[in-house]
Structure 1
Amino acid sequence: MPILESTYKPPFQFKNGFMATVYSGLLRKVHLDQERERINTKDGDFLDLDWSYCDASTRLSTSAKSDAVIILLHGLEGHAQRPYVTGTAKLFNQNGMDAVCVNFRGCSGEDNRFYRSYHSGATEDLEDVIQYCIQQKKYKTIYLKGISLGGNVVLKYLGEDRVIPSEIKAAIAISTPANLNGSATELHKMKNRAFAIRFRKHLLDKLRVKQKQFPERLKDKDLNEIKTLREFDEFYTSKAHGFKGATDYYEKCSSVQFLHNIKVPTLMISALNDSFLSPGCFPVKAAKHNDNLFLEMPNHGGHVGFIQKGDVYYNEKRALEFVNEHKK
């Protein structure tokens, strides 16, 4: 599919990628009423889902008023109340669709049950949510949207060797680190030092909570020695989820290797001034050879910072446009 020409033009002050990233991540506010529901995963853990509906009178105890839902996946150390997911949920609610914002394991304010938690390639949890939406909630039309780490999960899920449910009509991936090793390298550069320190602190805080449940596996000495995100992935992410190490985890979970197999219309939007993404995260060749993969690369936007006038961000508007174009 030809590369899409982007029409995104940010306000002047947000042409700077750092400013757009910081404002969107720390200062943006979105009001959205959500209802929490806990579901069990196939392996005996749980996921907390935060629902919002196109009809405010709908409650969990009743059947859905819409037959369409968008499943939203957050990024690294995010959660279902982050504005970059609630902004999309609100827009889709206003346009006749329900929304479910997924909290990855351990991200809903309560630690999950197992030593493992979530990672960039954990598509089995997305599969559980999709099946729940089809079997229990009876949705006939499902859209997927993942942001950053969540985008990698969405793309990997769609490109893996599995039968994709016919209810899934379209997908969107925003600011996706499709090449995890390349993105990890970028995050460790001086330009991203403030972000890397913040991510590491949040991740270690989570491990210290988990340490109370697994003190024999998470010792103070080991946690104190983790100085970088890569070291965190080497010590915990990779080993807790069955990989040999950080490099093995990055190689096996990078969605870029699965893009050729995507058969659902999928829109990728990644800004060329996104400091988190390496050149390998912009899959131009894959998009040109797959009629279902649409790649849009605005010059501006930073990392999930596609600010425009009004309350709706550019990537949210494009997500709605894209699903409307591919309704069946």
Structure 2
Amino acid sequence: MADEFLADSQLRSWVSIQWENWPSFPLVVGVALTVATYYVKCVAKKPVLITGSKSCADFLQHHCPVLVQEYYPTVWCFTSRAHTLICGIVRDLADGKPPSYQQDILHTPDGGEIHLDWLDHHGNHHHGNHHHDNKTRPTVLIMPGLTGHSGSAYVARLARGAHKQGYRGVVFNNRGTNGVELKSARSYCAANTDDLHLVVSHVKTLYPDVPLMAVGVSLGGIILFNYVAKLGKDCGLVAAMVVSVSWNVFEGTRSLEETVNKLLFNRYLVKGLTTNLRRNRVVFDRHASVDVDHALQASTIGEFDERFTRKVFGYESLQHYYTEASPHRKVPHIQTPILCLNAADDIFSPLDSIPVEEVEKNPNIALVMTSHGGHIGFGDWLFPSRESFMDKLYQQYVDAVFKYGQELGNEEEEKRVDEMKVRE
């Protein structure tokens, strides 16, 4: 009994000493208030909306309320790298199984295959003043990032988001992704839009009376932007949205090759690319210009693109490929309404590489920038597993386009009215 009392007394004495050595309560409160003040003053901010069109700005602010509210990035991981990593990991764990897609295989002229995963909305849905069945249901084409596919958490969220609004979603899996073997010596790249053209034509053939829009994330966003710029009003889309695109591929690649970014992101992405290539190397071993073994040794995206991507697609050099791929060069050519979402701290797209001045000159483009959010992060408040800012903006924009899209694209009429007023 005496031993137990002695032990208990020693424990209380040790706890008392430790407590006395802790910072005083006022200091703890002061630090907490300082952090909270910094967060509210410097981190939580309304998104910035940049566009060359007053009607577009009014349309977005009216129909996408998330744009006029404060955005509170996830409190405990709002820095760019943490936001990118933690939001991705938490969502992968929280989202569980991907939706129950219906697979559709599109055969290409070169003997290849493109796998589309459809998430349809069964049942009737009222769209504005219209009643939609399967033949007229508005559809969203979803384009994943560099190593993404229909099973990736952020892609599944986009598909579910379209479904939640009563629309149809279809995921365009790039060739050779999602465990699918290549049937021809062709994969995918940021500058080539041929496969996207085939997919859009395929969807329009299946559902000729359906309004179609597209959303692209990261690499998917680059391809989509380049496609819309290339085909102009003949792109087959009523609108588009791109998220976390690298506007200047040279600058994005340079940023990813910085030491920390190389360790955290570059090597992970290259591993995904080389894994796909290793699984499909049999179709490339016969490709005269590609040394597969050399490509498999790549340690950065730049090296992989130099040794493999640009050669498969026939670009003279890496410089040539990246020049053709960079969306910032195509801004003046956009003729279809397109919403672009970037975080100012996205290491894949450095802030000074975003073509703000060019966007301001084109009434068909709207650029939304958040102060934080990382790359495809955009976590909201305390829990990254909740619907992110990206998810909310995407769902609101999709719904606005399909219900009130006639309000978009009135810039020419605005100009005509202004010109008439000047003459009078």
Q: TM-score, normalised by structure 1?
A: 0.90
- Conserved? CA contact 2:135–2:209, under 8 Å: no
SS state at 2:284 partner? coil
Shift of 1:23: 2.3
Decide which of 92, 102, 113 is 1:35's aligned counterpart: 102
Q: Does 1:229 align with 2:301?
A: yes
Shift of 1:249: 0.5
Bigger shift: 21-30 or 95-104?
Answer: 21-30
**Alignment-derived partner of residue 149 in structure 2:** 79
Q: Does 1:270 align with 2:311?
A: no
**Alignment-derived partner of residue 171 in structure 1:** 240
Decide which of 218, 232, 256 is 2:328's aligned counterpart: 256
Q: Does 1:246 align with 2:318?
A: yes
SS state at 1:101 partner? strand
- Conserved? CA contact 1:79–1:103, under 8 Å: yes
Q: Does 1:300 align with 2:372?
A: yes
- Conserved? CA contact 1:69–1:97, under 8 Å: yes
Shift of 1:119: 0.8
Distance in 2 (CA, whole Å) between partners of 1:224 and 1:311 is: 37
Shift of 1:171: 0.9
**Alignment-derived partner of residue 119 in structure 2:** 52
- Conserved? CA contact 1:182–1:277, under 8 Å: yes
Decide which of 294, 307, 314 is 2:389's aligned counterpart: 314
Q: Does 1:159 align with 2:229?
A: yes
Decide which of 83, 87, 90 is 1:24's aligned counterpart: 87
Amino acid at match of 1:305: G
Distance in 2 (CA, whole Å) between partners of 1:320 and 1:75 is: 19
Bigger shift: 290-299 or 42-51?
Answer: 42-51
Bigger shift: 288-297 or 224-233?
Answer: 224-233
Shift of 1:66: 4.8
In 2 relative to 1, CA 215–69 (structure 1 residues): closer, same or farther, beyond 3 Å?
same
Distance in 2 (CA, whole Å) between partners of 1:221 and 1:46 is: 24
Distance in 1 (CA, whole Å) between partners of 2:386 and 2:197 is: 31
Q: Does 1:180 align with 2:255?
A: no
Aligned pairs for 1:52-71 (under 5 A) are: 52-55=119-122, 64=134, 66-71=136-141
SS state at 1:212 partner? helix
- Conserved? CA contact 2:255–2:347, under 8 Å: yes
In 2 relative to 1, CA 273–91 (structure 1 residues): closer, same or farther, beyond 3 Å?
same
Considering fraction of residues, name the structure with more helix.
Answer: 2
Decide which of 156, 171, 196 is 1:101's aligned counterpart: 171
Shift of 1:144: 0.7
Distance in 1 (CA, whole Å) between partners of 2:117 and 2:370 is: 30
Q: TM-score, normalised by structure 2?
A: 0.71
- Conserved? CA contact 1:50–1:80, under 8 Å: yes
In 2 relative to 1, CA 220–121 (structure 1 residues): closer, same or farther, beyond 3 Å?
closer
Amino acid at match of 1:33: S
Distance in 2 (CA, whole Å) between partners of 1:142 and 1:267 is: 15
SS state at 2:185 partner? coil
**Alignment-derived partner of residue 8 in structure 1:** 71
Distance in 2 (CA, whole Å) between partners of 1:163 and 1:79 is: 28
SS state at 1:213 partner? helix
What is the CA deviation profile of residues 47-83 of structure 1, one whole-angstrom value per residue up to 9, with x for unaligned ones? 00111012279xxxxx836521000000011111111
- Conserved? CA contact 1:69–1:139, under 8 Å: no
Where does the alignment leave 5 or more consecutive residues of structure 2 unmatched?
1-50, 58-66, 125-132, 407-424
Greater Cα radius of gyration, structure 1 or 2? 2
In 2 relative to 1, CA 311–211 (structure 1 residues): closer, same or farther, beyond 3 Å?
same
In 2 relative to 1, CA 220–159 (structure 1 residues): closer, same or farther, beyond 3 Å?
closer
Q: Does 1:195 align with 2:258?
A: no
Distance in 2 (CA, whole Å) between partners of 1:54 and 1:155 is: 27
Q: CA RMSD in A?
A: 2.3
SS state at 2:252 partner? helix
Query: Runs in 1 of length 4+ with deviation above 4 angstroms?
Result: 2-6, 216-221
- Conserved? CA contact 1:155–1:173, under 8 Å: yes
**Alignment-derived partner of residue 60 in structure 1:** none
Bigger shift: 234-243 or 208-217?
Answer: 208-217
**Alignment-derived partner of residue 128 in structure 1:** 198
Identity, % of aligned positions: 25
Distance in 1 (CA, whole Å) between partners of 2:164 and 2:400 is: 17
Bigger shift: 220-229 or 315-324?
Answer: 220-229
SS state at 1:297 partner? strand
In 2 relative to 1, CA 174–280 (structure 1 residues): closer, same or farther, beyond 3 Å?
same
- Conserved? CA contact 1:35–1:51, under 8 Å: yes
Where does the alignment leave 5 or more consecutive residues of structure 1 unmatched?
58-62
In the alignment of these two chains, the number of paired residues is 322
